[in-house]
């Protein structure tokens, strides 16, 4: 599975839940930037899924955006902000 960022990991956890429900047994998570909180959450829920990330930033701000990070990946990809 490929995600641009791993902030809280809620979306990635839900996606991996669905993959496993449908029989996936060898799942890997690839992302560009991660927050320590997202990595911890993913490891707590899916310890069998390796995480490949290019960078680990400081953490999350009050809006759950990665700091310093890139902002919201969806906003950047779709030009909504």
pLDDT-derived band at 77 (thresholds 50, 70, 90) equals: low
pTM of the model: 0.82
The pair phi, psi for residue 44, each rounded to 5°, is -70, -40
CATH architecture for the domain at 2-78: 3-Layer(aba) Sandwich (3.40)
pLDDT at 70: 67
Using CB atoms within 10 A of its CB, is residue 38 exposed (0-12), middle (13-18) or buried (19+)? buried
pLDDT at 66: 84
Q: Is the pLDDT score of 17 beyond 90? A: yes
Using CB atoms within 10 A of its CB, is residue 9 exposed (0-12), middle (13-18) or buried (19+)? buried
Domain-by-domain residue ranges, the chain?
2-78
Q: For residue range 30-72, list pLDDT tens digits in order.
A: 999 999 999 999 999 999 999 999 999 999 999 888 888 666 6
pLDDT at 1: 83
């Amino acid at each position: 599975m490929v995600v641009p960022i791993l902030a809280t990991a809620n979306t990635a956890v839900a996606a991996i839940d669905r993959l496993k429900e449908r029989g996936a047994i060898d799942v890997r998570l690839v992302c560009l930037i991660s927050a320590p909180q997202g990595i911890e959450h993913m490891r707590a829920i899916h310890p069998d899924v390796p995480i490949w990330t290019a960078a680990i930033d400081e953490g999350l701000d009050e809006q759950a955006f990665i700091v310093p990070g890139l902002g919201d990946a969806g906003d950047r990809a779709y030009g909504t902000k």
